[in-house]
């Protein structure tokens, strides 16, 4: 597979060659911004991929600029404002639509990839206005963690989830059935996956309609409200309630698996797909890669991004970035038995709305609405209706 991709890259570069020797790729330096390596091993992976690309494209030098993740968006924003952005770089999923609609990044060239080769949810994180503006590089999601001693068989549906949680709490009033997500940015990020599990959508960005005040979303929030009857906050507000055996279930991501294994070796837990009402669904996180409008080598930059996300390289690249592959044929780096649940979730993951202000909507509007319902200050319907009205006002939408 890799040979075919490399051949295609070389062929494509040759076809793009202008006057002068060596074609367009000859003597070109490509600058790629990315997050600082998570581990020394991650750095070795990226160095190997860089070397392989340069060998496949004689005369090309790829310069990897690694920036601490906490500083990345600020530095990138400054570079974009001063028109000194790199040729290409990593971009957090929610920022793609903003940069796309600002004209900061380029549209993916037709024919660069076969879209069917990628997880739909991951690819969709690069769409804005119906067009594709980047390539996914790694992805992640959340799933249901369960204490095997308290929950021998993980629930598959909402009804089963409520039933199991109630049974656990009835058996021991000091143990919560579930560590219900809170009304914060993290909980709001997870919430759409529950809404999609009821067959709903958060918004219709093409039609400019807010939909999270409709029945599927209201039912999803009501699920969390109902779960609190068997999962009181006085228990789940304690430190690490799931890890300490005070909550039978919780929702989290693969990043927590090694931490729990190391710090709580006696906890016998499993990971299963999220329970759903009408259809399996979940949320998504991770990194995309884009080519900036000011790039001097856009064709070469796209070929580099395609190289990172192809079947041969993406397994290692995604692991280096801290997530799962986005290419359906990429090999997943070996992990524990828990990864099967996350991979199932990624098959049904939904991208966040392609709305430039979505981070603000998530953190400042939806999160407080969730908390309002969970603390009994408003019904689920009231909380989401109010949040939807605020969102329509912010976005200037009528629907």
**What are the tens digits of pLDDT across the range 193-239?**
999 999 999 999 999 999 999 999 999 999 999 999 999 999 999 99
Express each pLDDT in 120-137 by its tens digit. 999 999 999 999 999 999
pLDDT at residue number 18: 29
pLDDT class of 297 with cuts at 50, 70, 90: very high
User: Higher model confidence: residue 175 or residue 14?
Assistant: 175
Task: Flag whether pLDDT at 329 surpasses 80.
Answer: yes
Per-chain mean pLDDT for the chain: 93
pLDDT at residue number 10: 31
pLDDT class of 360 with cuts at 50, 70, 90: very high
Within 8 A by CB and 6+ apart from 10, the residues are 56, 57
- The residue written with tokens 């949040």 in the block is 387
Instruction: Give the torsion sign (CA, 69, 205, 369, 345).
Output: negative
Express each pLDDT in 255-294 by its tens digit. 999 999 999 999 999 999 999 999 999 999 999 999 999 9
Q: Which residues pair with 270 in a beta bridge?
A: 146
Express each pLDDT in 170-197 by its tens digit. 999 999 999 999 999 999 999 999 999 9
Task: Flag whether pLDDT at 354 surpasses 50.
Answer: yes
Task: Flag whether pLDDT at 167 surpasses 80.
Answer: yes
**Encoding tokens for residue 302?**
């796209």
Tell me how far apart the alpha carbons of residues 22 and 392 are, in angstroms, rounded to a whole number: 53
Using only C-alpha atoms, the chain has a radius of gyration, in whole angstroms, of 23
Tell me the backbone φ, ψ of residue 291, rounded to 5 degrees: -110, 130
Tell me how far apart the alpha carbons of residues 32 and 36 are, in angstroms, rounded to a whole number: 12
pLDDT class of 77 with cuts at 50, 70, 90: very high
Q: Give the predicted TM-score (pTM) of the model.
A: 0.90
* CA dihedral of 254, 256, 262, 266, whole degrees rounded to 10: -100
Tell me how far apart the alpha carbons of residues 29 and 47 are, in angstroms, rounded to a whole number: 16
Domains with residue ranges and CATH for the chain: 2-139+285-347 (3.40.190.10), 143-283+354-395 (3.40.190.10)
* Percent of the chain with pLDDT strictly greater than 70: 93
pLDDT at residue number 37: 96
Containing 239, the helix (H) or strand (E) segment is none
> Of 22-26, 77-81, 369-373, which range is least confident?
22-26
338: nearest Cα among 324, 354, 349, 320:
324
Task: Flag whether pLDDT at 8 surpasses 90.
Answer: no
pLDDT class of 89 with cuts at 50, 70, 90: very high
Tell me how far apart the alpha carbons of residues 10 and 12 are, in angstroms, rounded to a whole number: 5
Tell me how far apart the alpha carbons of residues 319 and 186 are, in angstroms, rounded to a whole number: 22
Task: Flag whether pLDDT at 243 surpasses 70.
Answer: yes
pLDDT at residue number 9: 34
pLDDT class of 20 with cuts at 50, 70, 90: very low
Within 8 A by CB and 6+ apart from 186, the residues are none
pLDDT at residue number 27: 72
Strands 88-92, 28-35: pairing kind: parallel
**Encoding tokens for residue 160?**
């089963």
**Encoding tokens for residue 26?**
């000859």
User: Higher model confidence: residue 142 or residue 337?
Assistant: 142
Tell me how far apart the alpha carbons of residues 311 and 5 are, in angstroms, rounded to a whole number: 9
Tell me how far apart the alpha carbons of residues 188 and 193 are, in angstroms, rounded to a whole number: 10
**Encoding tokens for residue 123?**
């690819």
> Of 22-26, 70-74, 204-208, 333-337, which range is least confident?
22-26
Helix/strand/coil for 132: strand
Task: Flag whether pLDDT at 1 surpasses 70.
Answer: no
* CA dihedral of 312, 313, 316, 320, whole degrees rounded to 10: -170
């Amino acid at each position: 597979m890799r040979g075919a991709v490399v051949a295609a890259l070389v062929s494509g570069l040759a076809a793009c060659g202008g006057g002068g020797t060596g074609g367009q790729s000859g003597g070109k330096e490509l600058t790629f911004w990315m997050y600082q390596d998570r581990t020394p091993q991650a750095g070795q992976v990226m160095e190997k991929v860089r070397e392989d690309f340069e060998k496949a494209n004689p005369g090309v030098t790829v310069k990897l600029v690694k920036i601490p993740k906490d500083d990345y968006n600020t530095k990138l924003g400054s570079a974009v404002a001063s028109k000194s952005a790199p040729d290409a770089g990593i971009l957090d999923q929610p920022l793609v639509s903003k940069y796309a609609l600002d004209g900061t990044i380029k549209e993916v060239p037709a024919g660069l990839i076969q879209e069917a080769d990628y997880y739909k949810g991951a690819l969709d994180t690069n769409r804005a206005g119906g067009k594709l503006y980047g390539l996914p590089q790694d992805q992640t999601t959340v799933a249901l963690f369960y204490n095997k001693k308290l929950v021998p068989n993980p629930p598959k549906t909402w009804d089963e989830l409520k039933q199991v949680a109630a049974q656990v709490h009835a058996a021991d009033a000091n143990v919560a059935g579930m560590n219900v997500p809170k009304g914060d940015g993290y909980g709001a990020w997870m919430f759409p996956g529950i809404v999609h599990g009821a067959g709903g959508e958060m918004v219709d960005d093409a039609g400019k309609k807010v939909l999270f005040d409709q029945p599927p979303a209201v039912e999803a929030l009501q699920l969390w409200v109902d779960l609190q009857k068997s999962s009181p906050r006085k228990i789940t507000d304690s430190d690490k309630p799931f890890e300490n055996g005070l909550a039978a279930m919780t929702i989290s991501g693969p990043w927590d698996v090694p931490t729990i294994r190391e710090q709580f070796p006696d906890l016998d837990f499993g990971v299963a797909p999220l329970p759903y009402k009408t259809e399996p669904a979940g949320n998504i996180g991770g990194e995309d890669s884009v080519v900036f409008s000011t790039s001097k080598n856009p064709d070469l930059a796209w070929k580099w991004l395609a190289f990172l996300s192809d079947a041969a390289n993406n397994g290692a690249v995604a692991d280096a970035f801290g997530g799962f592959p986005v290419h359906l044929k990429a090999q997943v780096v070996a992990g524990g038995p828990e990864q099967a649940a996350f991979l199932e979730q990624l098959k049904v993951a939904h991208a966040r709305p392609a709305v430039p202000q979505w981070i603000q909507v998530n953190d400042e509007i939806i999160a407080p609405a969730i908390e309002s319902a969970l603390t009994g200050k408003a019904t689920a319907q009231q909380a989401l209706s109010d949040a939807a009205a605020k969102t329509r006002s912010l976005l200037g939408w009528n629907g």
